[in-house]
Amino acid sequence: MALVYELVWRVLHVLLQLQRAAVSWFQARAWKRTWLLWRRAAAAVLLPLALGFANQKKLGTAAGKRPIRRCRVLTDGKALEKLPLHVGLLVAEEEAQYTDIANVVVWCMALGISYVSVYDNEGVFRRNSSRLTEEIIKQQKELLGSESCKYSAEFLNNGTDAQEKVSWCQTVVKVWSPDDGKLGIVRAAQQLCKAVEQKESTSKDITVSVLDSLLRESKNIPDPELVLKFGPVESTLGFLPWHIRLTEFISLPSHKDVSYDDFLCALRRYSTCEQRLGK
């Protein structure tokens, strides 16, 4: 009888182990299936978000290059108490960045600034004015997109009043070099002295207006009201000394990677400054 009880007990024990194994197997299968469903559900929800974030990040990088839209430019322009008619860009740094300067020129165009002058002490932009012109046109299309057709520039060639027109004129761009600064004054003085020596004129004929006419390559371009100086050098580096008697200078750390907000901040500073005009 004891042998029968022991046999029955063993059978029951085996059945219990089988039951536990079956329950564990079904639980594992159910958990795996549930986990798989959760993973699929999470992927369906989170993957679009992840892709959207990646695209937003990519667009955010692009937005760093395209910081302005026409609606914002119009708002920014109207918010300024005064806008300079002529802005000079003085690069006081060793390495010239064509794209960054082209960006600033395009921002000036978008805000409705009529004249932009570009100058560096080494004359790099002057020697490569065609490259700068191409970069300005390229950045105009890239930064303004479909609105680019509403903003155009007119590039004055070096040494003459001849003009290279791009669409209809809204902004005049001129590239200067040290030859247009102090050396220009020296050449004008030599020309006046030669005229007196050859008795084509007298010393009494030499006036400020005569000298002014000799120094101005184009009489249609007004003196710059604002010059943005890029770089740590505390000097005008010979930037058109005859034309900046009443010019406001604002310094920025560098023209490399300069942002639209930095540019707009400088214009706000100019719009609030008080110009006594020698009084």
Question: Which residues are 90's β-sheet partners?
Answer: 119, 229
Within a domain: 186: no
Q: pTM here?
A: 0.65
Within a domain: 31: no
Within a domain: 278: no
Least confident of 7-16, 113-122, 197-206, 248-257: 7-16
Q: Choose from 71-85, 162-176, 183-197, 235-249 the range with maximum mean pLDDT.
A: 235-249
DSSP secondary structure code for residue 174 in this structure: E
Within a domain: 13: no
Within a domain: 123: yes
Among candidates 153, 99, 143, which has minimal Cα distance to 125?
Answer: 99
C-alpha distances in angstroms, 246 versus 76, 142, 262? 25, 35, 23
Within a domain: 44: no
Evaluate whether 108 touches 89 at the Cβ level (below 8 Å): no
Residue range of the domain that includes 120: 70-158+167-179+222-272
Evaluate whether 268 touches 246 at the Cβ level (below 8 Å): no
CA 144 from chain centre, in angstroms, equals 12
Within a domain: 135: yes
Number of domains in the chain: 1
Within a domain: 150: yes
Residues 24-51, mean pLDDT to the nearest whole number: 54
Q: How does residue 55 score in pLDDT terms, banded at 50, 70 and 90?
A: very low
- List, edge to edge, every strand of the sheet that includes 171-176: 163-165, 153-156, 171-176, 115-120, 86-91, 226-230, 248-252
Q: How many CB atoms lie within 10 A of CB 152?
A: 16
Over its C-alpha atoms, the chain yields an Rg (Å, rounded) of 36
pLDDT value for 265? 94
Least confident of 9-23, 38-52, 163-177, 229-243: 38-52
% of the chain surpassing 70 pLDDT = 61
Characterize the bridge pairing of strands 163-165 and 153-156: antiparallel
Q: What is the CATH number of the domain that holds 108?
A: 3.40.1180.10
Evaluate whether 264 touches 76 at the Cβ level (below 8 Å): yes
Q: How does residue 236 score in pLDDT terms, banded at 50, 70 and 90?
A: confident
